[in-house]
């Protein structure tokens, strides 16, 4: 029976890493991905991307040629700057799929950033009673995904919420009330499956090294009938605990809940320098012991995280996404959609350097 269960879990994990064209070679991760949510705005404001030899080109093609096979795009509802909406997702998805790569769509259910510290409702949804709020989640999710399907670029995986440690759409969907949390998440799940039964639904928490959080959250998810296919984690080594605690947690949740796992966000700096006059979020010369903020340190950290995912028992470790790989220091493409003067605190963790060239970590990730 144990052998049968292990075999079934392995088959499930293999089925999740769609699409079929995103092939993994022997020992390679099924998902070697990057979040490119900032790309459309970067390009609109003059962002340039070059391969490792300095030749200018399409950032997505450069990533694909380096061996990456999955891209992640976030969706906001009505952001102040008009970016990260259905319009940009549709346009970039066409390019992603034309290169034969998989697509993960990340619904924030907000007009701005949603994360463990803030899950703000979209302004248009603020006055809605709960039943209408649940319907809005369903309708918005269905609308974006059905538009993708109709243009021939269906999503392969979908996050229903982003870093939902404390629930979503506060206060209604706070997990102070798990019944409400479940109703909203299941509305999103149902919309995903109505568009495409083969699209996999990811539930995504931050703090990837916190096993207590993950057990508490997914035990409650089970008790409240929350439906999903894949467990997504954010793991940033300088914030989320040691590599060892991350490894212990990802192994535990995969086997405890019998679900494939994917690191939907990770990153590491390649320099301490600044490129846009806006202070970077991570400025230490050695943000994690033994891994300096250099191109070599960035490559080594991504390799270590990938090795941990690859070693998840029963083949349940799908892969990882380098977060905001194309968010270079382009004036106008700052972090705050409501403030055109804001800068980018992340450009020292992109996969392109300050000369716009692909960093070594890109080809390392593509081979993992």
Residues tagged active-site: 163, 265
Please check the confidence at residue 203 and state whether its pLDDT lies above 70.
yes
The model's confidence at residue 4, banded by pLDDT at 50, 70 and 90, is very low
CB 308 within 8 A of CB 240: no
* DSSP letters spanning 66-111: TT--EEEEEE-SS-TTS-SSHHHHHHHHHHHHHTT-EEEEEE--SS
Please check the confidence at residue 25 and state whether its pLDDT lies above 50.
no
Mean pLDDT of 306-330: 98
- Cα–Cα–Cα angle for 73, 123, 36, rounded to 5 degrees: 10
The model's confidence at residue 273, banded by pLDDT at 50, 70 and 90, is very high
Q: What is the pLDDT of residues 38-92, one digit of tens each?
A: 999 999 999 999 999 999 999 999 999 999 999 999 999 999 999 999 999 999 9
Q: What is the pLDDT of residue 234?
A: 98
Query: Higher confidence at residue 166 or residue 1?
Result: 166
Query: Higher confidence at residue 242 or residue 22?
Result: 242
Q: What is the pLDDT of residue 18?
A: 46
The model's confidence at residue 204, banded by pLDDT at 50, 70 and 90, is very high
Query: What's the whole-model pTM score?
Result: 0.93
246: which residues sit within 8 A by CB, 6+ positions away? Answer: 208, 209, 235, 237, 240, 305, 308
Please check the confidence at residue 250 and state whether its pLDDT lies above 60.
yes
Q: What is the pLDDT of residue 339?
A: 97
Q: What is the pLDDT of residue 27?
A: 83
3-state secondary structure of 157: strand
Please check the confidence at residue 254 and state whether its pLDDT lies above 50.
yes
* DSSP letters spanning 265-300: EE---S-S--SSSS--S---SSSBTTB-SSHHHHHH
If you average pLDDT over every residue of the chain, what do you get?
94
Q: What is the pLDDT of residue 299?
A: 98
Q: What is the pLDDT of residues 119-131, one digit of tens each?
A: 999 999 999 999 9
Q: What is the pLDDT of residue 21?
A: 38
């Amino acid at each position: 029976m144990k052998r049968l269960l292990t075999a079934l879990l392995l088959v499930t994990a293999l089925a999740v890493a769609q699409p079929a064209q995103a092939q993994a070679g022997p020992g390679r991760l099924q998902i070697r991905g990057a979040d490119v949510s900032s790309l459309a705005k970067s390009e609109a404001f003059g962002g340039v991307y070059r391969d490792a030899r300095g030749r200018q080109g399409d950032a997505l093609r450069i990533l694909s040629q380096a061996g990456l096979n999955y891209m992640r795009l976030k969706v906001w509802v009505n952001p102040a700057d008009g970016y990260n909406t259905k319009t940009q997702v549709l346009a970039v998805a066409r390019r992603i799929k034309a290169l034969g790569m998989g697509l993960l769509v990340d619904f924030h259910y907000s007009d701005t950033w949603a994360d463990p510290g803030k899950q703000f409702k979209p302004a248009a949804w603020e006055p809605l009673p709960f039943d209408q709020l649940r319907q809005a989640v369903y309708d918005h999710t269905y609308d974006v995904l059905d538009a993708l399907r109709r243009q021939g670029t269906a999503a392969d995986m979908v996050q229903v919420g982003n870093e939902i440690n404390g629930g979503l759409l506060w206060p209604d969907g706070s997990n102070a009330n798990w019944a409400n949390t479940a109703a909203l998440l299941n509305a999103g799940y149902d919309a995903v499956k109505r568009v495409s039964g083969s699209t996999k639904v990811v539930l995504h928490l931050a703090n990837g090294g916190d096993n207590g959080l993950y057990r508490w959250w997914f035990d409650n998810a089970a008790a409240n009938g929350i439906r999903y296919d894949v467990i997504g984690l954010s793991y940033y080594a300088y914030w989320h605990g040691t590599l060892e605690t991350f490894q212990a947690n990802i192994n535990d949740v995969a086997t405890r809940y019998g679900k494939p796992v994917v690191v939907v966000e990770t990153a590491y700096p390649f320099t301490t320098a600044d490129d846009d006059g806006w202070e970077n979020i991570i400025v230490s010369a050695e943000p994690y012991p033994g891994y300096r903020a250099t191109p070599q340190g960035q490559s080594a950290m991504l390799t270590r995280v990938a090795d941990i995912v690859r070693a998840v028992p029963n083949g349940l470790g799908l892969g990882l996404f380098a977060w905001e790989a194309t968010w270079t220091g382009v004036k106008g493409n700052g972090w705050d959609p409501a403030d055109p003067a804001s800068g980018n605190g992340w450009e020292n963790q992109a996969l392109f350097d300050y000369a716009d060239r692909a960093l070594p970590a890109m080809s390392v990730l593509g081979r993992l």
